[in-house]
Structure 1
Amino acid sequence: MTLDRRKTLTFQALDSLWHAMQGRWTMNFSPVATQLAVGDWLLHLANSPGTQADLWAGFFGLTTEAVTERVRPRAKDPGAKGDLECGCRFDDPLWGEEPFLSLRVLYRLGCRWWEEYATDVPGMKPRHKAFISFLGRQMLELYSPCNHLFTNPELLRHTSEEKGANLVRGGRFLAEDLMRVCRVPFPLPDSGFQVGKNLAVTKGRVIYRNRLMEIIQYSPSTPEVFENPVLIVPAWIMKYYILDLSPHNSMVKHLVDQGHTVFMVSWKNPGYEDRETDLEDYIELGVMDAVEKVEEVVPERKVHVVGYCLGGTLSAMAASAMARDGDDRLKSLTMLAAQTDFSEAGELMLFIGHAQLSFLEDIMQFQGYLDAGQMAAAFQMLRSYDLIWGKWVTRYLKGEQEFINDLMAWNADTTRMPSRMHSRYLRELFLNNDFFEGRFRVKGRPVVVSDIHVPVFIVAPEKDHVSPWTSVYKFHLSSDARSVTFVLTRGGHNAGIVSEPGHHGRSYRIATAHEGQSYVPPGHWYHDTPVKDGSWWVDWHKWLMGSSGKKSTPPDMGGFTGEGEACAAPGTYVFGT
């Protein structure tokens, strides 16, 4: 290596170190990316006197409207239950009394002014305009009267009734959480949930392990099972057992009880030593190795592959590669909250620009991975009221300990992302949309969605902030599958998938597009497809059953192969910290 080259690498290492230090104080958001967006807004606004005039006119117009609304009789109505303005909820009757009524009206109109006038500056890049709109909403949330003791009547009443005891408890909770943020060891409250005890308890055993994943085969619970097995590929940004939570809402148990032979991929939680693990490794050492092992246990039977979130995208890439190479071992493909086209991937795209990616790549280069805490800020800001300010009010001002259910316990069991894989995923899929546009390569050759010809079942939650349903729906644009069944289910990214039968309030829409039919835009599909009450799991089982052959005696449990020793489910990788 030449001297100049060594100097270059030294300077690059200095950049990585500096950006990693910055990231600790900026929640891993690039300060340059933020300044570029703000600068774009300010410069175009400064050079647009007409827009400035319109801004002031809108301000005075809404101020007049606030005065008018203030004197109307209906203004004393605090609003319908669940009234939302920038995420704030004004449910308490005291919001209809002074001075809280004026605060509510002014805040609501301030949100309107920002969205209708302040961000509509001609000449800005669309990306920067969306980011400025988002940034303004976060600032408005900060100053929301809901989130502060002396401007929230419910909090004032609560504090008066408890004589301030709630603030004492909240102060203790805040001190504990700050200690954890500062990496001071402090025990978390016991949630009562434990993997292997009351989470991930469906019976089975690990039949294969490599350096990247384990495969769990679940024990049959019926005297006969369908011929074609089911292989589930979860995302590695989360532990697999979201699909095997408590016995009453476990997707795995539901499938086993319906007579399916089920296999599950459990990913390793990567560390620094796994920093060079590539996205193609997850395809080849993950999905393709898993298909090989399933074929050994259930020979001459095609496999139903099910992928969740990032695991669904990965499964689609693997299915495309297999179809391209003439490998017909797949019976069907199911994708749960998974995107193949990332051109309109929602507000998450606000955090994935060239400047932001370069910043993240330097952070990952320094530590070898991106951990869950470093990813959490972006996801929390997408749902700031629920995940930030709602917690602030409930935990620190009301002094109430949060009720933890099994889904929340799983959500706290965090994982990491290898630096090389995560960089390729964000840059080539999210930013460049290489897979959907036919540029992503597996084994040196491009893979394309149109190579997938097996029947496809797609589920998209209606309130998904990670994989917006209209983005998931775009699979139809390039599909050449024999049929595509699309389900739009009620709920968010996780709760919409964990939607067991018997869960109150669940509903969904479902329709199938067959090969050769004309494309239906998502808005038309939504209005033309009726709502069904209940769980989409029921229709999915019927769909699987229709192409799973006859029932017969369950296959033997597979013998263990691979690294390490055999063990019972939930395996060893799930305990990786």
Structure 2
Amino acid sequence: MIPIDIRPDKLAEEMLDYTRKLGQGMENLLNADKIDTGVSPKHPVYKEDKLVLYRYDTPEGITPKPVPLLIVYALVNRPYMADIQEDRSTIKGLLATGQDVYLIDWGYPDGADRSLTLDDYINGYIDNCVDYIRESHGLDAINILGICQGGAFSLMYTSMHQEKVKNLVTMVTPVDFEAPGNLLASWTRAMDIDLAVDTMGNVPGELLNWTFLSLKPFSLTGQKYVNMVDVLDDPDKVKNFLRMEKWIFDSPDQAGETFRQFAKDFFQKNGFINGGVILGDREVNLKDLTCPVLNIYALQDHLVPPDASRALKTLTSSGDYSELAFPGGHIGIYVSGKAQKEVTPAIGKWLNEHSAA
């Protein structure tokens, strides 16, 4: 057994440093400004019910490319994760590559939205936003970037409206819900979805959020607050920590019927693989998707394991399919310094090459 060397002078020094950081941290927390939700300038261009479609301002000195890009985010949590801070912004990086960026903000569903279905989201809201952008730019087709569940929505949308989508990028997108290591899917398969929705109506965002945190309870609910002490004496790092905390707990409720169908058709029936997903009067078939696809996944993703995303490769009819593996996690693919240097520039480069073709 290796003896533990705990010298009194060393212990006292560490305790003093810990106390100093706590004291400075309290001052920094009290003086912290209001935490913003997104840092890149944008303006609303289209509204429908709770939905707002934003267009981001083009940075000075950048000429936007002719084919605009629509970002479709998940219904869970808020889309400002993609624009969380100045030096950790996927959107800012895309703008720097010349992308003309639009983003759908789903808002906060309430009781009036309980009966919204997947068809309402895919063939209603998304299609209306795509048509607005197409008409504004005088184009037949635009580019789409789908993130997480928004990637699954984008796959469904593109397969049903291929003529309106020029290029598709999917990020950490679940495709095979029975892929190994998918703990969230395993839990959801055991749920009585009908009982949950019939009882609650809309599914509380707080319930879903704590479910996600429970997938990694030590690191996501305990260890990060212990580690927080190391940054408390730096006002900028404190603000960045608070930004992330705000996003984590900013969880909209889910429209009951949409949650019911998505959970049953995908988590329980693996709809992209096995078929049977009906939107309106049509069945979703990824073989109807023919445009170029860039599929990006994270190698340490605990929510969407790599195999769950890589399954897309054989499911579409695209003759131009590419993959990009990122050595990080589900959130790090947006906010890590490595992602800013590798992932976002790669997306912009791929879109520019394919939009010009």
Q: CA deviation at 1:375?
A: 1.5
- SS of 1:245 mapped into structure 2: strand
Q: TM-score, normalised by structure 2?
A: 0.84
Which residue in the other structure is 2:260 paired with? 423
For residues 272 and 353 of structure 1, the distance between their equivalents in structure 2, rounded to whole angstroms, comes to 26
Tell me the SS of whatever aligns to 2:334: coil
1:454 and 1:193 map into 2 onto residues whose CA distance is 43
From 183, 205, 228, the counterpart of 1:347: 183
**Conserved? CA contact 2:63–2:98, under 8 Å:** yes
**Structure 1 counterpart of 2:38:** 200
Q: Does 1:477 align with 2:318?
A: no
Query: Alpha carbons of 1:240 and 1:161: their partners in 2 closer, same or farther (altered >3 Å)?
Result: closer
- The residue aligned with 1:390 is 223
Q: What is the CA deviation profile of residues 457-498 of structure 1, one whole-angstrom value per residue up to 9, with x for unaligned ones? A: 111011111111111001112222121111110221111133
Distance 1:212 1:443 in 2: 21
Residue 91 (structure 2) aligns with: 252
1:455-474 correspondence runs (5 A): 455-474=292-311
Tell me the amino acid that sits aligned with residue 429 of structure 1.
F
Per the alignment, in what secondary structure is the counterpart of residue 285 of structure 1?
Answer: helix
The answer (yes or no) to whether the contact 1:332–1:455 under 8 Å persists in 2 is: yes
State which of 276, 281, 301 in structure 2 corresponds to 1:439. Answer: 276
Q: CA deviation at 1:224?
A: 2.8
Partner of 1:369, secondary structure, is: coil
Q: Map of 1:358-397 to 2, 5 A cutoff? A: 358=193, 361-391=194-224
Question: Matches of 1:161 and 1:335 in 2, distance apart?
Answer: 46
Query: By how many angstroms is 1:448 displaced?
Result: 1.1
Shift of residue 406, structure 1, vs aligned partner: 3.3
Shift of 1:405: 5.0
8 Å contact 2:97–2:349 — kept in the other structure? no
Q: Is the 8 A contact 1:436 1:449 kept in 2?
A: no
1:176-255 equivalence runs, <5 A: 192-195=33-36, 199-221=37-59, 222=61, 224-255=63-94
Which amino acid in 2 is paired with 1:425?
A: F
Q: TM-score, normalised by structure 1?
A: 0.54
5+ unaligned residues in a row in structure 1: which ranges?
A: 1-75, 77-95, 101-152, 174-187, 508-532, 551-577
Shift of the 220–347 alpha-carbon distance from structure 1 to 2, 3 Å rule, reads: same
User: Which residue pairs with 1:449 in the alignment?
Assistant: 286
Relative to structure 1, the CA distance from residue 399 to residue 256 in structure 2 (aligned partners, 3 Å threshold; closer, same or farther) is closer
**Helix, strand or coil: the match of 1:481?**
coil
Q: Which stretch shows the higher mean deviation, 222-231 or 259-268?
A: 222-231
When residues 368 and 487 of structure 1 are mapped into structure 2, their CA distance, relative to the original with a 3 A threshold, is: same
Alignment CA distance shift 1:314-1:160 (3 Å): same
CA distance in 2, matches of 1:249, 1:473: 26
Secondary structure of the corresponding residue to residue 126 of structure 2: helix
Superposed, which structure 2 residues align to 1:107-146 within 5 Å? Answer: none
Q: Indicate the SS of the match to 1:454.
A: coil
Q: Is the 8 A contact 1:306 1:312 kept in 2?
A: yes
**Structure with more contact order per residue of length (Cα contacts < 8 Å, sep ≥ 6):** 2
In structure 2, the CA distance between the partners of 1:293 and 1:159, relative to structure 1 (3 Å rule), is: farther
Q: In the alignment, which of 485, 488, 495 is matched to residue 325 of structure 2?
A: 488
Deviation of 1:393 (Å): 5.5
**Could you tell me how far apart the structure 2 residues matched to 1:189 and 1:318 are?**
46
Q: How far apart in 1 are the matches of 2:151 and 2:197?
A: 24
Q: How many residues align?
A: 339
1:543 is matched with 350
Partner of 1:132: none
Q: Distance in 1 between matches of 2:127 and 2:94?
A: 22
Match of 1:138 in 2: none
Q: Superposed, which structure 2 residues align to 1:79-98 within 5 Å?
A: 96-97=2-3
Question: How far did 1:444 drift?
Answer: 1.0
Aligned Cα RMSD in Å? 3.1
| One-letter code aligned to 2:210 | A
Contact 1:320–1:451, Cα closer than 8 Å, also in 2: yes
**In 2: Cα distance, 1:216 partner to 1:392 partner:** 34
Amino acid at match of 1:220: T
Name the CA distance, whole Å, in 1 between partners of 2:330 and 2:316. Answer: 23
Q: Deviations over 1:193-236 (max 9, x none)?
A: 533xxx42322311111114111112223463211111111111
| Alignment pair present for 1:314 and 2:121 | no
- Whether 1:333 and 2:168 are equivalent positions in the alignment is yes
1:317-368 deviation digits (Å, cap 9, x = unpaired): 0011113xxxx121111001001221226111231134x234xx43443332
- Matches of 1:392 and 1:538 in 2, distance apart? 32
SS in 1 for 2:183: helix
Alignment-mate amino acid for residue 102 of structure 2: F
**Unmatched segments (≥5 aa) in structure 2:** none
Structure-1 separation of matches of 2:266 and 2:31: 39
Tell whether the 8 Å contact from 2:98 to 2:348 is kept in structure 1 after alignment.
no
State how far apart, in whole Å, the 1-side matches of 2:88 and 2:110 are: 31
Counterpart AA for 2:252: T
